[in-house]
Structure 1
Amino acid sequence: MLTFLDRALRWSTGLMAAMALFTIMWLTLVDVLGRKFLNHSVPGGLEITEVLMVVVIFGALPLVSWRGEHVVFDSLDAYVPSWMHRIQQRLVHLICAIVFAFMAKLMVQRADRFSEYGDITVYLQLPLSPVAWMMAIFLLVTALVHLVFVFVQPPEPPYHGATGEGTGS
């Protein structure tokens, strides 16, 4: 089951975040070349980049949580007994699941408000509610990832130690 979830997250949220980052790279290249050689930038390039950054950041959240690649403060781990370590991990995942679910609820409320008021971007006049809905979905998926880890041992993170060095995977 964990292999299926890993594959599903990589091919959904991970691929979406990677494609958005790749698009930002090309958009920036075209924008810079256009300004340098044609004295004309990409119309609405900043707004497109902002929306794509939302996809990169929020799209990567579930995968980062799944792979354990987030920032971890392990200063007190040496003082926590080994029998308590698993309880501590499950409690932290439960708290994270609750927090991410709450943020998803807030984002749903924000998306509804954007839709109700008809909020749009300034230049391209793109509606903001679909972006907020996407953020809510990614936050909810991240909450579900942490909820899974309350009951199932998470896969081993690819890097170990405070320096970020390790064997990798």
Structure 2
Amino acid sequence: MHKSIDRLLYWSAGIMAAMALFAIMWLTVVDVVGRKFFDHSVPGGLELTEILMVVVIFAALPLVSWRSEHVVFDTLDAFIPDWLRGLQARLIHLVCAGVFAFLGRLMVMRAERFAEYGDTTVHLALSIAPVAWLMAVLLVLTGIAHLLLFFIGAPATGHTHHAPEGSA
């Protein structure tokens, strides 16, 4: 089950984040070349970059949480008994699951408001609601990842890197 969830997150959230980052790279190249040689930047380039950065950050959250690749303060771990460390890890995953679920709920409310008011970006007039909905889904997915880690008793500090079979 652990490997199949890892593979699913890799091929969904991980690839989504990678594609958004790749798009930012090419958008930046085209924008710089356009400014340098044609005296024109990409119209709405900043707005597109901002949206793509949201995708990079929020799509990475579930995968980083599932693999426990986030920043960790483990200075005191040497002084904590193993049995307490396991309990601490479960508590951390439970708190994280609750926080991400709460943030997901807040983002759902924000997305509904964006949709209701018809909020758009300034230059390109792109609807903001779908971006907020994507953020909400990815926050909830991150919460679910922590909830699953709570139930399987995974350590909150994973110093190993998991890669699905067939990936480089």
Q: What TM-score results when the alignment is normalised by the length of structure 1?
A: 0.91
Q: Is the CA contact 2:89–2:153 (under 8 Å) kept in the aligned structure 1?
A: no
Q: Which runs of 4+ in 1 moved over 6 A?
A: none
Structure with the larger RCO, 1 or 2 (CA within 8 Å, 6+ apart): 2
Q: CA deviation at 1:22?
A: 0.2
Query: Greater shift after overlay, 149-158 or 13-22?
Result: 149-158
* Corresponding residue number in structure 1 for 2:160: 158
Count of aligned positions: 160
Q: CA deviation at 1:75?
A: 2.1
* Corresponding residue number in structure 2 for 1:44: 44
1:125 equivalenced with 2:125 (yes/no): yes
Runs of 5+ consecutive residues of structure 1 not aligned to the other structure: 160-168
Q: What letter matches 1:157 in structure 2?
A: H
* Corresponding residue number in structure 2 for 1:2: 2
Runs of 5+ consecutive residues of structure 2 not aligned to the other structure: 162-167
Identity percentage of aligned residues? 62
Between the aligned partners of 2:77 and 2:9, the Cα distance in structure 1 is: 29
* Corresponding residue number in structure 2 for 1:100: 100
Between the aligned partners of 2:47 and 2:84, the Cα distance in structure 1 is: 47
Q: Is the CA contact 1:61–1:142 (under 8 Å) kept in the aligned structure 2?
A: yes
1:78 equivalenced with 2:87 (yes/no): no
Between the aligned partners of 1:5 and 1:28, the Cα distance in structure 2 is: 33
* Corresponding residue number in structure 1 for 2:137: 137
Instruction: Kindly provide the CA deviation profile for residues 68-110 of structure 1, in whole angstroms up to 9, marking residues without a partner as x.
Output: 1101011221221111110000000000000000000000000
Between the aligned partners of 1:153 and 1:82, the Cα distance in structure 2 is: 13
**What root-mean-square deviation, in Å, do the aligned CA atoms of Structure 1 and Structure 2 show?**
1.4
Between the aligned partners of 1:135 and 1:153, the Cα distance in structure 2 is: 27
